[in-house]
């Protein structure tokens, strides 16, 4: 697709929260929050001529490598949320994208995301083949208070659940969609922590892709003010999640 005549280096997009995206308490699910953030990032890529369709001409796609989300409050059913996004850095095979969520002009969520260009045939990172110089970069304009941190996967972790990857877990890149990892872990948590909005921030690190019929094990380690999940395949870590509690 050509670059949209309406393209700008900072995009704001409105979304209405519908009932299917909400938890029993009427507030947006954390998984659907991440979906909205990714859809906004995808819309910006579409407008800028570096969408999935554009990149597939070179067998490329953007894949999420890391994601940090800081949550002051969750939007609720029927809220109109405005998601604003811009790019901090973009070079070779890597890009850091910032996103903010506002309701009635008030910022309630900030996110920092790290993306890699992935060859969907070779299944490995490579430099972006499309022109992107028209994107103005904002390296000093941060959406989160803290940046990415190292998630320490403890050897003292507890094995919680075994799972086999099913077709519904896969996305258009033919691997487990990143939101699915979060869903698997949240489903194993105490519901009171989720429904009570006790999560002030969470960070995800995607280490190795998972494919159809892969057998994985989900582990948990509980610290004083954080819960760390890890997902492994054949004793090798594929994913790490740290949830920081209020």
Do the domains 149-246 and 1-148 match in fold? yes
Query: 149-246: what fold?
Result: Thiol Ester Dehydrase; Chain A (3.10.129)
Q: Tell me the whole-structure pTM to 2 decimals.
A: 0.95
Instruction: Give the sign of the dihedral formed by CA 41, CA 101, CA 36, CA 69.
Output: positive
Residues of the chain with pLDDT under 70: 1
Question: Cα dist. 44→8, 98, 108, 148 in Å?
Answer: 8, 12, 21, 22
pLDDT of residue 29: 98
From CA 60, how far away is CA 53, in angstroms rounded? Answer: 9
Instruction: Please write the tens of the pLDDT for every residue from 159-201.
Output: 999 999 999 999 999 999 999 999 999 999 999 999 999 999 9
Contacts of 81 (CB under 8 A, 6+ apart): 14, 15, 16, 17, 36, 75, 101, 102, 103
Listed by start position, the domains of the chain span 1-148, 149-246
Q: What is the CATH number of domain 1-148?
A: 3.10.129.10
């Amino acid at each position: 697709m050509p670059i949209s005549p309406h393209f700008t280096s900072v995009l704001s997009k409105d979304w209405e929260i519908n009932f299917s995206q909400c938890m029993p308490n009427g507030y947006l699910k954390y998984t659907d929050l991440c979906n909205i953030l990714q859809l906004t990032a995808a819309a910006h890529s579409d407008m800028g001529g570096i969408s999935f369709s554009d990149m597939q001409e070179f067998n490329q796609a953007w894949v999420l490598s890391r994601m940090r989300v800081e949550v002051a409050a969750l939007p609720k059913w029927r809220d109109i949320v405005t998601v604003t996004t811009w790019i901090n850095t973009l070079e070779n095979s890597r890009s850091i994208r910032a996103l903010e969520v506002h309701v009635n002009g008030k910022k309630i969520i900030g996110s920092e995301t790290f993306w890699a260009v992935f060859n969907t045939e070779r299944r490995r990172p490579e430099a972006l083949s499309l022109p992107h110089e028209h994107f103005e970069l904002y390296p000093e304009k941060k959406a989160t208070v803290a940046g990415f941190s190292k998630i320490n996967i403890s050897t003292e972790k507890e094995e919680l659940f075994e799972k086999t990857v099913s077709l519904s877990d896969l996305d258009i890149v033919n691997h487990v969609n990143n939101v699915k990892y979060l869903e698997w872990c949240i489903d194993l948590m105490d519901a009171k922590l989720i429904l009570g909005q006790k999560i002030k921030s969470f960070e995800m690190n995607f280490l190795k892709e998972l494919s159809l019929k892969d057998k994985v094990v989900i582990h948990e380690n509980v610290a004083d003010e954080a819960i760390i999940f890890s997902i492994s395949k054949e004793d090798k870590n594929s994913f790490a999640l740290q949830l920081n509690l209020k």
